[in-house]
Amino acid sequence: MKGLPYKIAGLLLILFSLTYGLWSEVPELPIIEQSIRNLFYHVSMWFAMVAMMAASFGNAIGFLSSEDMARDRRSISLAETGMFFSVLGLLTGMLWAKFTWGAWWTNDPKLNGTAITMLIYLAYFVLRNSIDDPRKRARISGVYNIFAFVMMIVFIGILPRMTDSLHPGNGGNPGFNSYDLDNRLRLVFYPAVLGWILVGTWIASLRYRIRNLEE
């Protein structure tokens, strides 16, 4: 099997975060308490999503400069996988928010920015489905992909940092790294992020290969 080492590495890294992430000592924080462990699971969904969208963006540019249809198939497969992670990130975030901030949804700029980002990417899928000619579809959606990626950076990377936000590291709030430790959290969080990115790449490659078969 091609890429077997990275597939196994990805699964093992996630497994490590699922097991050791529950065993490990975590900092004692008011209100958040044990739910700080969601850092390993909820936040890594978003990191995986951003990584998938970045790779999708890279392939969109790759297609536009080379007209290589395989690049277009990679681009859409990665965007679909990124969308999958963002849905998981949103649902897990809502659950965490309910028991930390007291509501399923707040008017936090990061939440609304994420919602807008997801709608932008939904429009990308709709746009693709509405064009029958493959080359035309690849070109138009490639350009749209660049727009969508830049908007994502603005809506979840920049704007939330410029106003008040409930999220750590945004709007003058301290980031997670200022919570005493926090090498204890990092030890699980970084492997989890890497693991999900690797498994995300794997899932995207499966979608890509199915697309190749459909050609």
Partner 1 sequence: MKKQIALFSVFAPLTAAAQNDGMMYGNEKMNVVIGVITIIFIGLGAYLFSLDRKIKKLEDEK
Binding mask 161-200 for partner 1 (x = CB under 8 A): --------------------------------------x-
**Between the CA of residue 96 and those of 39, 91, 109, 187, what are the distances in Å?**
10, 9, 16, 21
Q: Which of 14, 32, 53, 88: binder of partner 1 (CB under 8 A)? A: 14
Contacts of 210 (CB under 8 A, 6+ apart): none
Q: Cβ closer to partner 1: 156 or 197?
A: 197
Q: Is 5 a residue that touches partner 1 (CB under 8 A)? A: no
Q: Cβ closer to partner 1: 98 or 209?
A: 209
Q: Are 42 and 96 in contact (CB under 8 A)?
A: yes
Q: Cβ closer to partner 1: 132 or 215?
A: 215
- Least gap, CB of 7 to partner 1 (angstroms): 8
Q: Is 158 a residue that touches partner 1 (CB under 8 A)? A: no
**Between the CA of residue 157 and those of 38, 46, 137, 195, what are the distances in Å?**
20, 11, 29, 22
Q: Is 212 a residue that touches partner 1 (CB under 8 A)? A: yes
Q: Is 203 a residue that touches partner 1 (CB under 8 A)? A: yes
- Least gap, CB of 159 to partner 1 (angstroms): 35
Q: Is 148 a residue that touches partner 1 (CB under 8 A)? A: no
Structure tokens at 89: 């990130």
Structure tokens at 189: 């969080």
What does the longest C-alpha to C-alpha distance in the chain come to?
57
Q: Cβ closer to partner 1: 8 or 158?
A: 8
Binding segment toward partner 1, per CB under 8 A, in 24-32, 56-64, 152-160, 201-209: 201-209
Each residue of 51-86: b (16+ CB within 10 Å) or e?
A: bbbebbbbbbbbbbeeeeeebbbbbbbbbbbbbbbb
Q: How far, in Å, CA of 39 to CA of 21, rounded?
A: 10
Q: Cβ closer to partner 1: 96 or 149?
A: 96
Q: Cβ closer to partner 1: 82 or 109?
A: 82
Q: How far, in Å, CA of 122 to CA of 116, rounded?
A: 10
Q: Rule CB under 8 A: which residues touch partner 1? A: 1, 7, 11, 14-15, 18-19, 22-23, 199, 202-203, 206, 209-210, 212-213
